Structure 1
Amino acid sequence: MRVLLVDDEPHVRKSVRLLIDWKSLGIDTVLEADNGVAATTIIQAMEPEIVIMDMMMPFKNGMELLEWMQQHGGGRSIIVISGHSDFEFMRHAIRHGGMDYLLKPVDKSELQKAVRKAVDSCNAAKQQMLELRQLSGEMNEMRSLRRDKLLAELLAGPASETVQEALLRELPSLRNVKRCTAAIIRPGFAERGMSGLPASRLHELLLNVVSIAGRALGPEEKGLAFLSGTDIREVALLIWDGLPEAVSLAGAIAQTLSESLKVRCDIGVGGEREFPHFLHQSYREASEALRSRNMLHLHNAVQQWSQETRERDGRLKFYKFEETIYLAIRSANAGQIEAVVRQWIDSIRAVGFLPLNVLQQWREEYQLFKTRLAEELLPNDSGQREDEPAFLIPLQEDGGFSLEGLQQELNADLIRLQQQLLRVQQSANRNVIGEIAQFLESNYMRDITLQEISDRFYLNKEYISRRFKNQFDETITDYVNRIRIKKAKVLLLNPQLKIAEIAQMVGYHDDKYFSRVFKKWVGQPPNEYRGSVSGV
C-alpha cells in the first residue's frame, strides 16, 4: 500500500514519517510532495491509496488539491493535518472526501489511529470491488450459459416461439439476421479427448477455441461462436455472410486456431438456411460433413456439406474380418494376429477412403467383438476376466489420423487378449489353488500380499480368496498363521533361542504380536508353552 505526504514544511513530513509504524499497517511505500502541484503529478503517476496533507501550501493549496482529487476520481483515503482550526477548512475537507482532520501539533496515537482507519477503509473498498468484479463475472458467465443454452436449442430442432423470443432478448442484433450458415469446429485435442482427456481440461481448451473464433468473427458482426451443447467435443459457429463467405471465414478460423493452439482443427460447414427456423438443418449438415471426412487424406481442414456427403461409405465391413481375427487369437501365435491386422490395414489403404463415421462404427463393432469373445472364452468364475480397456482411435499430436497407429494399436490389443486366453488354458490344466498353498508354505516367513499372489498366478484377488476358502476352509491369513505357529512350536524346543528371535524366524517382526497370535492358536503364550513341553 502507498501513502503520499503533502506538506511544504520538510520537518512536518519527517515527523509524520517517524510517528507512524508503517510496517504494522501494511504500508510499504511512503511518497512526499512539498506543494499541491507536485502532489497531483505524483498521484497521477503512483496512485497512492492514502494521502496525508496540509491545507496551507504554495502553488495549489489544500482546498484546491481536495477539489482536484475529487474531480479526478476518488477511491483514496484522505487525512488532513493542519495548523488552522478554521471551520470552513474542516467543512471543505469533509465535503471533498476528507476522512479525518487533525490539528498540529499532531498526537502520535491519534495519527496512528487515523492512518489505521484509512488503511481499513482502503482494504474494505478493495474487498468490495473484488466482490463486485466476481459478481459481475458470475453474472456474465450465467448470461453466456443462458445464451448458449438457447442457441443449442435452435441447433437441436425447430425452436418454440418462446425460445426464439428469449434469444432475441439476449441478442437483439439477431432480429436483423434472415439467413445463416452453421459450422462445427472439432479440434484435434477434442478427438483425443476420447482417450481420457479430463472433462474439465477439455472444457477449458474448448473455451479458448470459442474465444479465438469469436475474435475472428467480431462481436456479432459476422457471426457467433459458442459451445454447441450437443457434443462436449464441439464448438458451434453461426455465420451470417452467405455460404461462400462462410466457407472462406471457416478456413481462416481453422488456420488461426492451428497456429494458436498448435493442433489441427477440422470444421464442417452446412448449407445456408433460413434463420432461425431451419438453423438445425444447417447444423445437421455440418455434422454430416465432419463425420464423412476422409481420415486418410486430411488435406483441407474445412469440410463443406453437399448432397454427395450422404452417399459416401467406407465400403469395408469389420464383420468380414471377425472370423479371421478369431482364428488368429485361438492359434496362440502372435504372428498370425500381426498377419491378419496387416491384411486389414492393406485393405483400408487399397480402398483409399475412410470416413470418420465408419471408423467410429468399426470401433464400436470391435469392442462388441471383444466382449463376445471374452464371454465365450473367459467365464466369469474363472478368475481370469479382466476389465477390457477401451480401444482408442489413434490420432497424431496435431489431431490427424494415423493408420500406422491403428495397426500398432490393434496388434497390441489383440496380442494382449491372446495372452490372456493362453493363461486361462494353462490354469485350467493345473490345480492353481494347490500351487498357491505350496507357494505360501515355501514362503511363510515373508509378508506375502494378496496382490503379489494375484500377479504371480494371473488370477484376480477376489477369485483367489473365494476359491482358497472353499478348498481349505480357512482364509489365506489363517493358513499362513497356522504354518508359522507350527514352525514356532518346533523352534521353542530349543531353550537357547529367544522368543523375539523365533518370532523373526517365522515371519513376525513384532514379538508382542507374535505372542498374541501364538496364544490365540495354542491357548497359552510362547513362554508357558515352552515350559510345558520342556517339563520345567
Structure 2
Amino acid sequence: MYTVLIVDDEPTIREGLKTIINWEEQGYKVLDTASNGREAIDKHHQLNPHLTILDIRMPGLNGLEVIEHLRREGKKGQFLILSGHADFDYAKKAISYGVGGYLLKPVDEEEMVEELGRIKGLLDKEQNLKQRSTNEDFFYREHVIESILFGGQVWPREDVIEYGLDWPLYQVVLLEVYSESHSHMRAEVKREMAELLASSKQGIVFTAGQYIGCLLKQPLVSDEERHRFYDEMALVLKRFSSPVYMAGGSCVLYIQDIEASYNEALHIMENRFFFTEPSVVTMQATSEPSSNEVVGPLRLDEDKLTDTLYYALDIRSKDLLSRVLDDMERVMIQGFYTEHDIKKKITKIAAVALNKLSLHSTESKLIATEHTAMLSSLYQQPTLTALLETLHLQFAKLIQQLGVNSKDTIIKQMIDFIKRNPGDHLKLEVLAEVFNYNSSYLGKLFKNYTGESFNVFLDKVRMEKAKSLLEEGLKVHQVSAQIGYANVDYFHSKFKKYIGISPSAYRDQYKERQ
C-alpha cells in the first residue's frame, strides 16, 4: 500500500480528491492533506509519502518550488501536478524535476485513476530495484563476514567502507533454534532474523554451520541489553515453537578480529547444555566459582542419589523429590560431567528408582511402568535444566497417581517405610535427611511414639522379616544379606537375642512343624 499526501489551497478540492477516488482499491492510502507550500514541505518531512499530489498555483511557495526544495534535499518520492492552466512551460519545468504526471483541473476521475495506475507501476519498479539492491548489499556484506571467519581473507579498508561495515565496534552472537528439524527451517529462521536486524539497523546475519550468526555493530554489554536482545529475537521466532539459545563473543575494534569474537561465542554455545536462563550468554555473564566454593570435581554417589529418589517416590514426598533433583544438578555441574554422561547417569538413576518402586505392589508396578517409557525423552532435552524439569514433572505426576499417603504423622510414615524396606542400609541420620528433620529431634519423636529407640525398632522389624525368609527355606547367609546385615555372625547373635534360638534352629523347627 503506497502512501499519499494531497496539497491544495482550496479545501473543497482537498476533500474532493480524498472522496472521489477509491484509494485502497488503487493500492494507495491518503495519509494527510496540506493547504500551502510550506505546510506541504513540513508534512512531507514528517510522513515521507510515496506520492504527493499538489497544485502548481498556491500562495507563498508554488507547487514547482515545493518540488524543487524537496528534490534538493534528496527526496525520492513521486509527484503528480494539478493545475488549472494548460501551460506548456510549467509542464516542461515539472518534467525536469522528475514529476510523475501532470493533470488539468477540474480533475476527471477516470484520468486520475489512469494516472494513479501508471505511477503505481513506477513505484513498483522502484521498490523492486530497491529490494534487489538491498538483497545484493546483504549478500556482499555476508560474503565479507563469512570470508573473514571461515576463509581467512583480509579485506582492504576501502572495501569495508564500501559495504557499510566500517563500524566502531563488532560483536558476534550465535543463535540456535533447538529442534530435530532445525536444518530444514534454518533458512526461514535466518530470513526473519535478517529482517529484524535490518529494520533496527543492528547488524548483519550470516550462516555459521549449525548455528545462525549475527554480527552486531552495537555490542551487548550489560545484562539488560543481553536480555532485551534475546527477548526481541525469541519473540520473532516464537512461531517455530522451539527453544532458542544464544551465545555472544567479546567486543572487538576491527572487523578482521571478529574471528576471535566468533570462536568465543562458539565455545560458549558448545556448552549450551548448561545454559540456565533466557539471555545471550557471554563469558562475563558466566559465573566463576568463588574461593569458598568446592574446588575440584564432586564424586557422584549414584547409590545414594538412587535411594533418595526412590525414597521420595515411596513416601510420596514432592519436597524430597525437589531436593534430590537439586542435589543431582549441583553434583553434575560441579563434577564436570559431559552432556552424554549426565543424560546416561540421570536416566539410570531414575530407571533403578522406578524399578524398586515397582516391586511394592501391582498398582505401583503399573504406575512405575507407565513412567519408565518417559525416560527415553531425557536424552532429547537441550539443557540440564530442561532435563531435570522434565523428570520433576513426570515424577510429581507419578506421586499424584500413587495418592496421598494415608499415614497422618511423620512417624507413621517412617514406620511404614521401615517395614517395607528392612533390607536397606537404614540409619536414623539417613531417614532424618529424607524426611527433612534434625536426627536427634526425630529420634526423640520416634521413641516417644513407639516406646523404643530407632535401632531397637529396626532390629525387631528385621527379625520378623528374617523369620519369614527362613520359613521360606532360605539359607542363613542369604537372609542376613536380604535384611541388611553384611556380617552373618552379627546377624546370628541379633537373631538369637530377639528370638531366643539361632536362625538355623528356627528354620529346622519350622520344617518339623509343617
TM-score by length of 1: 0.42
TM-score by length of 2: 0.43
The higher relative CO (CA closer than 8 Å, separation ≥ 6) is in: 1
